Amino acid sequence: MKNVIGIGELLWDVLPEGKELGGAPCNFVYHAQKQGAKALALSAVGNDDFVKEILYLLKAKNISAELIQINDKPTGTVDVRLHNQGVPEYTIHENVALDYITFNESWHQKVNQADIVCFGSLAQRNSTSRETIEKMLKSCNREALIVYDINLRQNYYSKEIIEKSLQLCNVLKLYEDELPVVCELLEVTAEGEEQQLSVLLNRFNLKLVAFTKGSEGSLLMTPVEKSYIPTPKVEVKDTVGAGDSFTAVMIVGFANGNSLKEIHQKAVEISAFVCTQDGAMPEYNWN
């Protein structure tokens, strides 16, 4: 059983039909444990009217609250509007609990024992959480898979954050709209997506790059092989959390030594299933 930690945001996704527990690292943790991993979310929520509900939902979804801090800021919220084919548009609120994750010495051993650690950009928008995340990543053991699921949102990123994160990770996951931004900031001049991904793979000595293009398919690349799979045609309810499920399924399979094509196919199938369901953490048994 692999030990997995998702570091970053835990928040409410406020959708047209109501609020759902969310945040990319939390979604990632949910889907990782569905793949048989022992998974923990490391984040912060507010000591507000919703904290009991959040803790109850975490327990119901088999996500441990062991590494969840409670502070005096409000719990994070994201207003989610769904456009054509269930594609979300996010309005993310600032100065919330996830921006003030503070370093805890007791976390060091947990992070050091992790086989997989996943983080993104959003929770690094504030220096308090960013410094904590950096300390946690530097606590990882040398054999760990450290996944930077870049998740660029609004203006909550910079060249400094992206470059530092790439130096701290060994696996990169990004979406088609994010690749041009990364290439411009990091002055990657190669032509064509595959060539650009290859530059990032080599420049940052990565073990794996995952590139998703929505309905246009996805590409996995390692230093020695690659896999492209078209996106299945499904009836989409919403795509919230689909990318997080893709990342979780992919990296648990990769950690278990499964073939690139095998882990890719499973990640595609489960992320397509998530698109047919409401919310980022639907119930299923598929490991």
Q: How far apart are CA 105 and CA 210, in angstroms?
A: 32
pLDDT tier, 125 (very low <50, low <70, confident <90, very high otherwise): very high
Picking from 90, 87, 82, the residue whose alpha carbon sits closest to that of residue 17 is: 82
Number of domains in the chain: 1
Tally of CA atoms within 13 A in the half-sphere of 173 that contains its CB: 28
Residue 83 pLDDT: 65
Query: For residue 162, what are its two tokens?
Result: 């992206």
pLDDT digits (tens, 9 = 90+) for 190-224: 999 999 999 999 999 999 999 999 889 999 999 99
- Banded model confidence at residue 261, pLDDT cuts 50, 70, 90: very high
The confidence band for 14, taking pLDDT boundaries of 50, 70 and 90, is confident
Q: Is the pLDDT of residue 58 over 80?
A: yes
For residue 179, the enclosing domain spans: 3-275
pLDDT of residue 287: 64
Most confident of the following: 25-29, 215-219, 261-265: 261-265
List, for residues 236-247, the tens digit of each pLDDT value: 887 888 999 999
Residue 218: count other Cβ atoms within 10 Å of its Cβ. 24
Q: Which CATH number covers residue 54?
A: 3.40.1190.20
**Cα separation, 69 vs 55, whole angstroms:** 11
Asked if pLDDT for residue 86 goes beyond 60, the answer is no
**Domain annotation covers residue 280:** no
At residue 278, the pLDDT reads 82
Contact indicator for 33, 83 with CB cutoff of 8 Å: no
Q: Is residue 284 part of a domain?
A: no
Q: What is the pLDDT of residues 166-196, one digit of tens each?
A: 999 999 999 999 999 999 999 999 999 999 9
